[in-house]
Structure 1
Amino acid sequence: MHKSALTRCSLLLGLLLPVVAGATELYRYVDDKGTTVLSRQGVPPEHIGKGYEVLNDQGRVVKVIPPAPSAEEMKHILAEKARASSDAQLLRFYSTPEDVERARQRKLAELDGLIGVARGNLQSVRTQQANLQSQAANHERAGRAVPANLLAQIDSQKVEQERLKSDILRYQAMRKAADSSFNADRDRLKVLMGRN
């Protein structure tokens, strides 16, 4: 009997001690078995991600901690943040869709200029190669060996042609990407400004 009363007192003291110590909050969460648990010790780490509620000493909910987002929800949240950041940057760079169009025209003109220069250089290199090959043919018709430096120059012109062709393709790809990007920016800015 004495032992039973002592146990009850210890149990009561255990329940009252957190209140006396100032820990008046209760935490309500659902465990792995689906049981709702009330605890003064807090929420175990393995249950925090599922969300929980904080109750005051009268049992009223004072704070709700929502469940952590799923991987798919987190992906969506991050995509929305990236879109918001991109929109804010777009609005900082351009005042109107017309500003985007002017920037697009400038960029395309710049890339068209680079393509034109590369094409001009390519034509020039082809002409030089044709002249060098003509010189090599003259040596062969005269029965002389083609000088090594002439062969090296012809090879060098071939390499330069391939480099210039590669540059032209790269500039064309850049032009296409820039055109697409500016068009998307212009259309997005129209949406942001309500000018569909």
Structure 2
Amino acid sequence: MIFRTAIALALLCALAAPADAQTRAKKLYCWNDANGNRTCGDTLPPGATDLARTEINAASGQQTGQVGRALTAEERAAATAAEARAQADAKAKAEQQRRDLAMVESYATEADLRRAYGERTSLLDDALKASAMAESNLRRSLVVLLDQANNLQLAGRPVPENLLANVRSQHVELGKQQRIILEQRADRASLDAELADALARYNALKNPRPE
């Protein structure tokens, strides 16, 4: 009798154990539907799988997780773009640090660094002077051509087509030269800013401030 009772208890425990484990593992889900109504259940209907939800242990009643809503296509694209920007920024920062270390190793003093930039500055200044001279020559040539055309008109004579063509051509060339000068001035200003930034980084690495 005792033996049969022991067998029966063992069978009951064996049958009860899986059910108890299932109860412990079972989850409840709570979410807000499209109308803002709070809904809970032990399964997620198809319309709720993309909604934000709270997961709760059915046995203990304690919250076990929080799942955010699914992102829209636009949000996923924005997140991907933001991640790409972050990676690009991190790569650029690492590259800048590498260049800064190379700069400190290449130039023993600030004067050496200034001298290196001075060579580039001199080249740009020479180019600007040459461009300014070319612009001045084009301007004088254009003035001469315009005077010739004006004198002919004052004398009541027609202006030859080749003279008009030369005037137009000089106008075009003068405009090109002026654009070149603007670009060179922008390059010169950019180089000055680059030097100032390089000096600041150089001194920060050479003479770090105490914490």
TM-score (norm 1): 0.60
Structure 2 equivalent of residue 139 of structure 1? 152
Q: Are 1:5 and 2:13 an aligned pair?
A: yes
Q: Secondary structure at the match of 1:145?
A: coil
Q: Which amino acid aligns with 1:95?
A: Y
Count of paired positions: 148
Match of 1:103 among 116, 119, 122: 116
* Structure 1: runs of 5+ lacking an equivalent: 15-30, 38-43, 48-70
Question: Which segments of structure 1 move beyond 4 Å, counting only runs of 4 or more?
Answer: 1-4, 11-14, 31-34, 77-81
Q: Which amino acid aligns with 1:138?
A: N
Evaluate the alpha carbon distance shift between residue 188 and residue 32 of structure 1 in structure 2; reply closer, same or farther with a 3 A threshold: farther
Structure 2 equivalent of residue 191 of structure 1? 204
**Relative contact order higher in (CA < 8 Å, ≥ 6 apart):** 1
Evaluate the alpha carbon distance shift between residue 88 and residue 133 of structure 1 in structure 2; reply closer, same or farther with a 3 A threshold: same
Q: How does 1:21-40 map to 2 (within 5 A)?
A: 35=63
Structure 2 equivalent of residue 167 of structure 1? 180
The CA deviation at 1:101 is 1.0
Q: Which amino acid aligns with 1:170?
A: E
Structure 2 equivalent of residue 91 of structure 1? 101
The CA deviation at 1:13 is 9.1
Report the identity percentage.
Answer: 24
Q: Distance in 2 between matches of 1:95 and 1:194?
A: 14
Q: Which amino acid aligns with 1:83?
A: K
The CA deviation at 1:99 is 3.4
The CA deviation at 1:134 is 2.4
The CA deviation at 1:149 is 1.4
The CA deviation at 1:82 is 3.4
The CA deviation at 1:4 is 4.3
Structure 1 equivalent of residue 140 of structure 2? 127
Larger Rg: 2
The CA deviation at 1:91 is 2.2
Q: Which amino acid aligns with 1:172?
A: R
* Structure 2: runs of 5+ lacking an equivalent: 1-7, 23-53, 57-61, 69-81
**What is the RMSD of the two structures over their aligned residues, measured on CA atoms?**
3.6
The CA deviation at 1:142 is 3.6
Q: Which amino acid aligns with 1:86?
A: Q
Question: Does the Cα contact within 8 Å between 2:55 and 2:64 map onto a contact in 1?
Answer: no
Q: Distance in 1 between matches of 2:138 and 2:132?
A: 10
Q: Secondary structure at the match of 1:143?
A: coil
Structure 2 equivalent of residue 116 of structure 1? 129
